[in-house]
Amino acid sequence: MIRTAALTKRYGRITAVDDLDLDVREGDVYGFLGANGSGKTTTVRMLLGLVLATSGTIEVMGQPMPARARQVLPEVGALVEGPAAYAHLSGRANLALFDAMGPGGGRASRARRVDDALARVGLGGVDSRPVHAYSLGMRQRLGLANALLRRPRLLVLDEPTNGLDPQGIREIRGLLLELNAHGTTVFLSSHLLAEIEQMCTRVGVLDQGRLVVQEQLDVLRQPTGRVVVHTPDADRARALLDGQVEHQDGERLVIRVPDAAALNALLVGGGVRVASLTAERRTLEDVVLAATSAGSDTFSVPAVAR
Amino acid sequence: MILVELRKMVRSRRTWTTILLIDALPTLVAILLAITDLGPRPGQGPAFLSAVLTDGTLFPLAALAIVLPLFLPIAVALTAGEAIAGEAQAGTLRYLLIRPVGRTRLLVAKLVSVMAFVVLSVLVVAVTAYVVGTLLLGKGDVTTGSTSISGSSLSTQELLLRTLLALAYAMLCMLGVAAIALFLSTVSESPLGAALGTLAVLIASTILLTLDAASALQPWLPTRYWLAFVDLFRDPILWRDVVRGVLLQLVYVVVFLAAGWANFTTKDITD
């Protein structure tokens, strides 16, 4: 769906995106993670033909970008660095205006498309007040509605849940997953680990312009081979397990053992009351922290001066 | 895209506020003239104003002569300066471009919309001036013909033709302003910056025109032949400055539109 090869963008001496090989497959919910300033937005803008690459190639839906932007972009819906609208017009008027631009927006079906998109994002009953009176969350929803106008095959969303309350985040997540279930590929750029972890099937991690991880989420979150047990009988469990306990913190034990079920049977058989027992998995946070350096908004002096 | 831009322009409150403001000055002049009956002497003050006292139907011409040298250029600079930089500042530019609207197409649509704005303001000014002029200053005896600035008489038909020519000439001058402002609008990140930049160019040009030391530059200054449209009402028409003015404005239009196009189509949109 999206494929880049050696994609590089330099601004003067600063390299914003460095030798990027993205591979987003059809049907993915692709999480594009990175700290602020790691080059996420520049990459998104290059995918959409807003920023021109210094070198490297981009293919979206099998066609080169930005050369074939006129064919590709009508099938792409995007939210880039926050929504934008004409503040003096209502949400509906805004969508009608955006719908009238560019190819594929027949006049006869315009009102239906606009109503459809508004209903999808939960703004179906919105009145005619101008956008400057909208809350941040409503603007975000309007931006999403704009992205959905042409029923795109690919959604490129930069921080789509910005400004939404927990209820709204949940709704939008549900909407995106539903769209994905109906065949829309979703490319989600975010610095929120939890958001990516809850939604995505594949993850790419950007660090200082370089792609340091690109993998299925399931693979990244493989079991660590350890089991975390909460028990009021911690000492008894320790005695029973004899050396397999790696770490104890009050009633919480971290135990190195391959089979969690067997461990449970062993503990219960030995008279240990087990409050909870979980096979430990690597969290996305572990993966990201292991793969990346300090965020680009820290400017501490490096340990070894060059 | 052109239709969309026109719709946006017509529906914007700013458009009508600007036109209203432009319109206010000639109306004020008409009222003052009607109350005081003090016109400038022939050959002084804004063109045609002296003739207006005897014939209110000439007031549209006088109104345009009042508006063209200052108010209209300001309005054009503001509108055209807003064109790209304004969309960029509002963040809507990126959403336009990924709809997708081609960059060249957007630039053309913006230029058309700016010129439509000019036509609209000129029309509004002319119509209100005609109404105000005939109401307040009275109708002269048009059938016997109106006076050209050279003193001889012009038939109504001829007057109309020359007025249209003068309007076309003024539009071309405004197109020159629009081209400069549109170019700056693709360069600057702030719409105000682009508008002020354009005005700075026009003011500098006006100042240099009064300076003898700058005489070598003067034939190339954008405002050099702006008022040449007055020559169209001489008898016979004095074509020399009008023709030079047209050629000069064409040069400005071509150069700045080309520069704006080259800059905008190769620019990284990072707003």
Nearest CA in chain B to A49: B98
- Angle (CA) A182-A187-A189 rounded to 5° is 140
Select from A187, A215, A243 the last residue of a domain: A215
- The answer to whether residue A129 sits within a structural domain is yes
Q: Which residue has the tokens 């008409």?
A: B30
Question: Coil, strand, or helix at residue A2?
Answer: strand
Sequence-separated (6 or more) residues with CB below 8 Å from residue B220: B248
**Percentage helix, strand, coil for chain B under 3-state DSSP, each rounded to 5:** 75, 0, 25
- The answer to whether residue A300 sits within a structural domain is no
Are A99 and A153 in a shared domain?
yes
Whether residue A244 contacts residue A227, with contact meaning beta carbons closer than 8 Å, is answered with: no
Residue range B232-257, pLDDT digits in tens: 888 788 899 999 999 999 999 999 99
- State how far the alpha carbon of A210 is from the alpha carbons of A20, A35, A47, A234, A254, in Å: 6, 12, 16, 45, 35
Nearest CA in chain B to A152: B99
What is the residue-wise DSSP string for B3-29?
Answer: HHHHHHHHH-HHHHHHHHHHHHHHHHH
| Tokens coding B79 | 């509108």
Residue range A9-27, pLDDT digits in tens: 999 999 999 999 999 999 9
Alpha carbon distance A17, A20 (integer Å): 7
Per CB-CB distance under 8 Å, the chain B contacts of A54 are none
Q: How confident is residue A145, by pLDDT bands cut at 50, 70 and 90?
A: very high
What total of structural domains would you count in chain B?
1
Per CB-CB distance under 8 Å, the chain B contacts of A84 are 90-92, 94-95
- The answer to whether residue A302 sits within a structural domain is no
User: Is the pLDDT at A175 greater than 80, yes or no?
Assistant: yes
Alpha carbon distance A31, B217 (integer Å): 60
Mean pLDDT of all residues in A129-156: 93
Are A179 and A273 in a shared domain?
no
Residue range A214-232, pLDDT digits in tens: 999 888 888 888 899 999 9
User: Is the pLDDT at B168 greater than 80, yes or no?
Assistant: yes
The torsion region of residue A53 among left (phi > 0), alpha (psi -120 to 50) and beta comes to: beta
Residue range A49-91, pLDDT digits in tens: 999 999 999 999 999 999 999 999 999 999 998 899 999 899 9
Per CB-CB distance under 8 Å, the chain A contacts of B262 are none
Are A74 and A148 in a shared domain?
yes
What is the extent of the structural domain holding B231?
A: 2-265
- The answer to whether residue A82 sits within a structural domain is yes
- CB pair distance less than 8 Å for A80 and B99: no
User: Is the pLDDT at B74 greater than 90, yes or no?
Assistant: yes
What phi and psi values does residue A58 have, to the nearest 5 degrees? Answer: -130, 135
Q: State the pLDDT at residue B95.
A: 95
User: Which residue, among A101, A146, A148, would best test binding to B if mutated, counting the most B CBs under 10 Å from its CB?
Assistant: A101
- CB pair distance less than 8 Å for B266 and A101: no
Of B155, B158, B157, B142, nearest in space to B54 by CA: B142
A278 to chain B nearest CA, in Å? 46
Mean of the per-residue pLDDT values for chain B? 87
| Tokens coding B36 | 């005081």
Q: State the pLDDT at residue A306.
A: 44
What total of structural domains would you count in chain A?
2
Whether residue B101 contacts residue A73, with contact meaning beta carbons closer than 8 Å, is answered with: no
Nearest CA in chain B to A143: B95
**How many other CB atoms are there within 10 angstroms of residue B114's CB atom?**
28
Are A17 and A86 in a shared domain?
yes
Q: State the pLDDT at residue B146.
A: 54
- CB pair distance less than 8 Å for B98 and A51: no
Are A172 and A231 in a shared domain?
no
- The answer to whether residue B271 sits within a structural domain is no
Residue range B96-152, pLDDT digits in tens: 999 999 999 999 999 999 999 999 988 898 889 888 888 887 765 544 445 566 666
CATH number at residue A191: 3.40.50.300
Are A244 and A178 in a shared domain?
no
Q: How does DSSP classify residue A274?
A: P
Alpha carbon distance B200, B194 (integer Å): 10
Are A20 and A62 in a shared domain?
yes
Per-residue burial over B243-268, b if 16 or more Cβ lie within 10 Å, else e, is eebbebbeebbeebbebbbeebeebe
Are A194 and A275 in a shared domain?
no
Residues B206/B209/B210/B212 CA torsion (nearest 10 deg): 150
Are A206 and A238 in a shared domain?
no
Are A10 and A125 in a shared domain?
yes
Q: How confident is residue A237, by pLDDT bands cut at 50, 70 and 90?
A: confident
What is the extent of the structural domain holding A59?
A: 2-215
Are A252 and A206 in a shared domain?
no
- The answer to whether residue B18 sits within a structural domain is yes
| Tokens coding B164 | 């249209």
Are A56 and A199 in a shared domain?
yes
Percent of chain A with pLDDT over 70: 96
What SS3 string covers A87-138?
Answer: CCCEHHHHHHHHHHCCCCCCCCCHHHHHHHHHHHCCCCCCCCCEHHHCCHHH
Per CB-CB distance under 8 Å, the chain B contacts of A101 are 1, 4, 96, 99, 101
Residue range A269-285, pLDDT digits in tens: 888 899 999 988 888 88
Of A70, A76, A97, the CB nearest to B4: A97
- CB pair distance less than 8 Å for A50 and B100: no
B78 to chain A nearest CA, in Å? 18
- The answer to whether residue B234 sits within a structural domain is yes
Percent of chain B with pLDDT over 70: 92
Tell me the ipTM for this assembly: 0.85
Question: Coil, strand, or helix at residue B147?
Answer: strand
Alpha carbon distance A166, A152 (integer Å): 26
Q: State the pLDDT at residue B152.
A: 67
Alpha carbon distance A49, A185 (integer Å): 19
Alpha carbon distance B91, B120 (integer Å): 28
Of B267, B35, B25, nearest in space to B125 by CA: B25
- The answer to whether residue A288 sits within a structural domain is no
Q: State the pLDDT at residue B236.
A: 85
CATH number at residue A274: 3.30.70.100
Residue range A84-126, pLDDT digits in tens: 999 989 999 999 999 998 787 788 899 999 999 999 999 988 8
B268 to chain A nearest CA, in Å? 4
